[in-house]
Structure 1
Amino acid sequence: MTPRIHGGGDHLGVARWDFSSNANGCGPCPLVLRAVQEADPSHYPDPSYAALRSALAGLHGVEPARVLLAASASECIQRLTAWRWRAGDRRFWTPTYAYGDYAHAAAAWGLVRVKEPGLAQLAWLCDPGSPLGQGESPDAVRTLLNQTPRTVVLDRAYTPLRLKGDSALSAEQTDRVWQLWSPNKALGLTGVRAAYALAPLGAQPDVQTLESLAASWPIGAHGEAMLRAWTQPEVQGWVAASRATLTQWTQALSDMLVGRGWAWAPSEAAHGCAKPPHALDATALRARGIKLRDAASFGLPGWWRLSAQRPEALTALDTALNGLALEVAR
């Protein structure tokens, strides 16, 4: 079973300076935070989530019947995998470096990984992806979207945090895949669990099947408030404006690390991977209030994933690395 390893809080709590999570460093979005804080949890949500579906459909310009609600992106990954296993799929593919929950869900349901995308019945894309923040391979996209029937899911968790470049998928291709959206990262509210997927054109019956596999009321009042706020123009404007700031912070992060002799992999998003010139003592760094994401679980041993953070966080990281270097020198 592939272990589930994530950034963010751990058994020690939340790090004072957390570079391990890919949440928007400009967050939380004030408008959405207020909406979540004002949510009324004393009543059940509408079990059909009719108003929420309509709002999300309006945001993306699709029919409400194409909207599939989920408790979180990870829950949706599990449910989509279970659905495909029940339909007879037994082979899956992910990019070489990808979010571990895809493989974990596949292992839980008995799907076997294949090396070539053309052999897969279920395939996962993430554009830009994690951990590297790079776009997907156009060749892989073309292979997956040829005439062979298969289910392709495009994880769009980092689409709102793309700082440069364009998706490998055209608008026509995007309409042929499942699009998985988890706005809590872009909003800097990863503790609020709620997500949704947009079905491919003509796949409305599959949405109904997937809804039958979900528990009742998958999204609580706070998650519903977050997703409703996500559809507002003011919130979309806040996210768009944050990208200019994140571009500066990402550049400052890479400049500082490269100046210390780290290798920095090219990234199109507000996160990326870097490799220090010497082994990094993550425990000692954590004791200084700094947390990075070990990229070994992504298949990149010796590399660390970091997200763009505020200048004071970058100063703290720089100071902590200085401290570790002095200790090694002694």
Structure 2
Amino acid sequence: MHAHGGPDAFGVPRWDFSTNANACGPCPVALAAVQAADARRYPDPVYTDLRSALAAFHHVAVERIVFAASASEFITRLSAAVALAGGRRVWLPALAYGDYGRAARAWHLQAVATPETADLLWLCEPASPMGGAEAWAREVAGQGGVVVLDRAYEPLRLSGACSLGADALDRVWQLWSPNKALGMTGVRGAYAIAPLQGQPLAQTLAVMAPSWPLGAHAVAMLTAWVQADVRQWLADSREQLAVWKRAQIALLENAGWRCLPSDANYFCARAPQNVDEVLDVARLRAKGIKLRETTSLGLPQHWRLSVQPPDAQAALSAALTTQQENSP
């Protein structure tokens, strides 16, 4: 079973620290656009207007825009394309989203330790689960294989800057999935920007795509994504998230947790040893609180917590205090 944050068999957590969606969301303008989408009809199968809007927003040629049903779908389709073209090796960050490795294994791509030997290479900034820069980003971006920079959390960056400059970005695939930034993870839809020399692979990916990878609701979300009022809402939400993040880190550190540095709207933390041994995740979940343990992301004995508003932080603090008081 794939490990993910968010709703589970027990329903929607009231206080959800397990998913990295923007806790200020959903974005009102984007939500209204999705609610008004015409679900009675197919979208334009080549997404002419949306493709033009995204290309203009990113200042790239329209043929560089490649649509995907979701970031995970793109990860799988790109891995398949590389394997079918004769690729045999993949390079993965030591700590990374599990779908990179799962897609590689599904297509029998062998993981290698050195990027220069890989046919497909994955980067993510801000990285998950740590929320910072990729240590090897510049070196990996200069390799000869297919290099992908997953930018799912770039719109939720609260500090720092991307490791890659404009020239390097033009040499890699950029994968964008705005639903997290808009606080609308239930709406699936993503796109990639092909590198300047990536047209042959972009055409292959288009041929491999299902008909209408984006439904009407995804088109509405992505169309809203580039609008000025949505961009302003996102900028305002980053300011609010930064305030909440400082408070959340202080709360955990005062409780003895060790919080690791992060540039994003989430961070990793380790509970104090006495709590680590008795941290009752099931009991927390029963109280409506869900955390994300990071073993599946390559970081055992830590928890990734998204930044949440004060009421959620208060609930977490009360639950952790109760557990500490009841520990043997």
TM-score under structure 2 length normalisation:
0.97
2:203 counterpart letter in structure 1? Q
Question: What residue number does 2:235 align with?
Answer: 240
2:162 counterpart letter in structure 1? S
**Map 1:257-268 → 2, pairs under 5 A:** 257-268=252-263
- 1:224 to 2:219 alignment: yes
Tell me the CA shift for residue 205 of structure 1.
3.0
Structure 1, gaps ≥5 residues long: none
Question: What residue number does 2:322 align with?
Answer: 323
Tell me the CA shift for residue 208 of structure 1.
1.7
User: Alignment partner of 2:160: what SS?
Assistant: coil
Question: What residue number does 2:284 align with?
Answer: 285
Whether the aligned pair in 1 keeps the contact of 2:270 and 2:302 (CA below 8 Å) is yes
Whether the aligned pair in 2 keeps the contact of 1:4 and 1:104 (CA below 8 Å) is no
1:97 counterpart letter in structure 2? L
Measure, in 1, the Cα distance between the counterparts of 2:92 and 2:225: 28
Question: Which of residues 142, 145, 151 is equivalent to 2:141?
Answer: 145
2:116 counterpart letter in structure 1? G
User: Alignment partner of 2:90: what SS?
Assistant: strand
TM-score under structure 1 length normalisation:
0.96
Q: Deviations along 1:100-122, whole A, 9 cap, x unmatched? A: 00000000000011112222110
- 1:9 to 2:7 alignment: yes
Whether the aligned pair in 1 keeps the contact of 2:70 and 2:188 (CA below 8 Å) is yes
Identity of aligned residues (%): 54
Question: What residue number does 1:110 align with?
Answer: 108
2:22 counterpart letter in structure 1? N
Measure, in 1, the Cα distance between the counterparts of 2:253 and 2:86: 48
Measure, in 1, the Cα distance between the counterparts of 2:58 and 2:138: 24
Whether the aligned pair in 2 keeps the contact of 1:97 and 1:130 (CA below 8 Å) is yes
2:317 counterpart letter in structure 1? D
Whether the aligned pair in 1 keeps the contact of 2:244 and 2:309 (CA below 8 Å) is yes
Structure 2, gaps ≥5 residues long: none
Whether the aligned pair in 2 keeps the contact of 1:126 and 1:156 (CA below 8 Å) is yes
User: Alignment partner of 2:181: what SS?
Assistant: helix
Measure, in 1, the Cα distance between the counterparts of 2:235 and 2:141: 30
User: Alignment partner of 2:326: what SS?
Assistant: helix
Q: Deviations along 1:279-309, whole A, 9 cap, x unmatched? A: 2211111011100101111122210000001
2:316 counterpart letter in structure 1? L
Question: What residue number does 2:189 align with?
Answer: 194
Give the root-mean-square deviation of aligned CA atoms. 1.0
**Map 1:120-199 → 2, pairs under 5 A:** 120-137=118-135, 140-146=136-142, 148-199=143-194
Measure, in 2, the Cα distance between the counterparts of 1:171 and 1:62: 12
Q: Deviations along 1:254-293, whole A, 9 cap, x unmatched? A: 1111111111010010101000012221111101110010
1:194 counterpart letter in structure 2? G
Return structure 1 stretches of 4+ with deviation > 4 angstroms.
none
Question: Which of residues 66, 69, 73 is equivalent to 2:67?
Answer: 69
Measure, in 2, the Cα distance between the counterparts of 1:288 and 1:117: 44
Measure, in 1, the Cα distance between the counterparts of 2:27 and 2:137: 33
2:289 counterpart letter in structure 1? I
Q: How many residues align?
A: 324
Measure, in 2, the Cα distance between the counterparts of 1:119 and 1:134: 25
Measure, in 2, the Cα distance between the counterparts of 1:164 and 1:297: 26
Whether the aligned pair in 1 keeps the contact of 2:138 and 2:163 (CA below 8 Å) is no
Measure, in 1, the Cα distance between the counterparts of 2:236 and 2:270: 30
Measure, in 1, the Cα distance between the counterparts of 2:186 and 2:138: 36
Whether the aligned pair in 1 keeps the contact of 2:88 and 2:110 (CA below 8 Å) is yes
Q: Deviations along 1:64-92, whole A, 9 cap, x unmatched? A: 10000000000000001000001111111
Measure, in 1, the Cα distance between the counterparts of 2:291 and 2:140: 33
Tell me the CA shift for residue 94 of structure 1.
1.3
